[in-house]
Amino acid sequence: MTKNDRANFGSKMGVILASAGSAVGLGNVWRFPYETGNYGGSAFIIIYLGCVILLGLPIMVGEFVIGRRSRTNAAGAFRVLAPGTPWRWVGRMGILASFLILCYYSVVAGWTLEFVAEALTNSFVGKTPADFVASFDEFSTNSWRPLIWLVVFLLLTHFIIVQGVEKGIEKSSKFMMPMLFILIVVLAGCSMTLPGAEKGIEFLLKPDWSKVTGRVFLGAMGQAFFSLSLGLGCLCTYASYFSKETNLTRTAFSVGIIDTFVAVLAGFIIFPAAFSVGIKPDAGPGLIFITLPNVFQQAFSDAPILAYLFSVLFYILLALAALTSTISMHEVVTAYLHEEFKLTRKKAAWMVTSACMVLGTLCSLSLGVLKGATLFGLTFFDLFDFVTAKLMLPFGGLFISIFIGWYLDKKITRQEITNEGSLKVPTYKLIVFILKYVAPIAISLIFIHELGLFK
Ligand code: PHE
C-alpha cells in the first residue's frame, strides 16, 4: 500500500476521540478498580498517576512519532524507520500482545452485553448484594452463555473493522465518548452519597504506604500501559492515520487526561458502593459486575424508572467503550496482516476474529470448567492478562523509549513533534529527556526488582 491510498481520520476531534476511544474502555472501568482493590487502594492510585505522567504520556508521544512518520502498521513502522535491524521485532511483539489482549478482553466485553440484556429485562430488581455475587459467579463460570456473548462481541468488532477506519472508528467514538463521560460523573455522584460510602472514599484518598511493594509498582506500571493502550503499537497504528496537522503532544495530553479522569471516576463509583454494600475491594475481575447493579438499585430506590434507564444506558455505553478498544486492538493485527502479507482487509480481519474466538473461548472456560488447568499457577485468563499487561506492554514501552531516545534521528523526532517546525512545543526537550533516560531506567528498575533478576 502506498502512502496515499491509506485512510485518514477526518478531523482533529476525530483523532482525539478515536485515540481516546482506544484508551478508554474496560481498562478504566473494569481493570483499574479491581487492580486498585487488589493492591490496597490509594497508594496504588498515586503510583499509577506517576506512571501515567512520567512514562505513559512521553511514550505515547513516541508512538505517535513512529506511527505518523512511517504511515504504516506497527511492524512495518520499525522496518521503515530502522531498515534491516531487529527493531521490527518490537513491532511484532506489540502485534502479538494486541492479539492476546483482544482474546481475553473480548470475554469481559461479552459480559457487558449480558449485563445490557439483564438491565433491559429489568432483572436487577429486588436482588440483594449477595444475590448479585451469586448470579455473577453462576454466569461467569457457565460453559456456554459467556461464549455466546464473546462471539457476538467479536463479530461486532469484526464488522466495524471491515467497514474501514474512518467510517467505523471515528463515528462510533464521536458520540459515545461524551455520553459515557456524563453518565460516569452522575453515577460517581450517586455512589458517593450511598450510606456508608465514606469508607470507600477513604480507601481512595488515604494512602496506606505499608502495603506498597515492588508488586504494586509493576501492577501500576502495567495498568498505566494497559489503560493508555501503550507499548503494543496500537496508538502507533492510529497515528499512521493522523494528518500532517495533528498536534501530537497535545493529542497525547488530551488522551491521557480523558483516560485518567474516567479511571479515577470509575474508582469513585465502585469503591464507595462496594464498601456501602459490604463487597470486598479485592473481589477480583468480577468487582464491577457485582458492585454496580447495587448502585443502580440503591441510589435510585425511590425512582425505579431512573434505575432502569441508567442501568440500561450505562451498560450500553460500557459495551461501546469496550468496542472502541477492541476495534483498536483488532486494527493493529488486521493492518499488519493486510499490509505485510498482502491479504485483503476482509480476509485478514476474518483470520484475527476466528483465532480470537478460539483463544477467547479458552480464557472464558478457564473461569469455569477449565479452572484447574493452570500454567505457572495461573488460569489462561489470568495468564493472558499477566503476560500482556505486566510483561509485554512495559517491555514494548521500554523499547519504544529506547528507540526514540537513542536510535531514531533527533531531526525526525523534532520534525514530527513540532510539525516541521510550525508548532512551538515547550515540552519537547523534556519529552526527549524522559524517553532517553527516565523511562528506560524506571521501567528496567521495576522489572529487575519485581522479576527478581538480580537475586
Ligand atoms: N486501553 C484499553 C482500555 O483501557 C485497552 C487496550 C489495551 C486497548 C491495549 C488497546 C490496546 O480498555
Distances in Å between the Cα of 154 and the Cα atoms of 31, 104, 149, 245, 322 are: 20, 11, 8, 33, 11
State residue 120's pLDDT score: 96
- In the reported structure, the alpha carbon of residue 302 is separated from the centroid of ligand 1 by a whole-number distance in angstroms of 37
In a domain, 367, yes or no: yes
Q: Is 290 exposed, middle or buried (0-12, 13-18, 19+ CB in 10 A)?
A: buried
Task: Give residue 20 CA to ligand 1 midpoint distance, Å.
Answer: 10
Do 320 and 103 contact (CB within 8 A), yes or no?
no
What is the reported pLDDT for 180? Answer: 86
C-alpha pair distances (Å), 159 with each of 18, 129, 327: 17, 37, 10
Q: Is 3 inside any structural domain?
A: no
- Answer yes or no: is the C-beta of 226 below 6 A from any ligand 1 atom: yes
Check pocket membership of 329 for ligand 1, CB cut-off 6 A.
yes
Q: How many domains does the chain have?
A: 1
- CATH of residue 226's domain is 1.10.4160
Confidence at residue 174, expressed as pLDDT on a 0 to 100 scale: 75
Ligand 1 center to 21 CA (angstroms): 9
Taking the CB of residue 338, how many other CB atoms lie within 10 A of it? 19
Question: Could you tell which of 176, 230, 328, 332 is best to mutate to test the pocket of ligand 1, judged by most ligand atoms within 8 Å of the CB?
Answer: 328
Burial of residue 278, with CB atoms counted within 10 A of its CB: 0-12 exposed, 13-18 middle, 19 or more buried: exposed
Whether residue 177 is contained in a domain is answered as yes
C-alpha cell, 386: 499477566
* Per-block mean pLDDT, blocks of 10 residues, the chain (455 long): 54 79 94 94 97 98 97 93 95 96 98 96 91 95 96 95 72 78 91 93 94 91 97 92 93 96 95 92 91 87 89 91 92 92 95 98 95 92 96 97 97 97 96 98 91 58
C-beta neighbour count of 155 within 10 angstroms: 12
b or e along 55-93 (b: 16 or more beta carbons within 10 Å of the residue's beta carbon)?
A: bbbbbbbbbbbbbbbbbbbbbbbbbebbeeeebbebbeb
- Indicate if ligand 1 lies below 6 Å from the C-beta of 399: no
* Residue 216 CA, ligand 1 centroid: distance in Å: 20
At 118, list the grid cell: 439483564
Does the residue 434 lie in any domain?
yes
Identify whether the C-beta of residue 99 lies closer than 8 Å to the C-beta of residue 353. Answer: no
| Cβ contact 338:345 at 8 Å | yes
Contact (CB, 8 A) for 41 and 204: yes
The whole domain housing 124 covers 12-450
Q: Is residue 6 part of a domain?
A: no
pLDDT of residue 7: 61
User: Cα dist. 227→153, 159, 205, 230, 277 in Å?
Assistant: 20, 24, 21, 8, 27
* Domain presence at residue 100: yes
CA distance 188 to 76: 42
Q: Is residue 455 part of a domain?
A: no
C-alpha cell at 444: 528496567
Question: Is the minimum distance from the CB of 413 to ligand 1 under 6 angstroms?
Answer: no
For residue 220, what pLDDT is reported?
97
In a domain, 4, yes or no: no
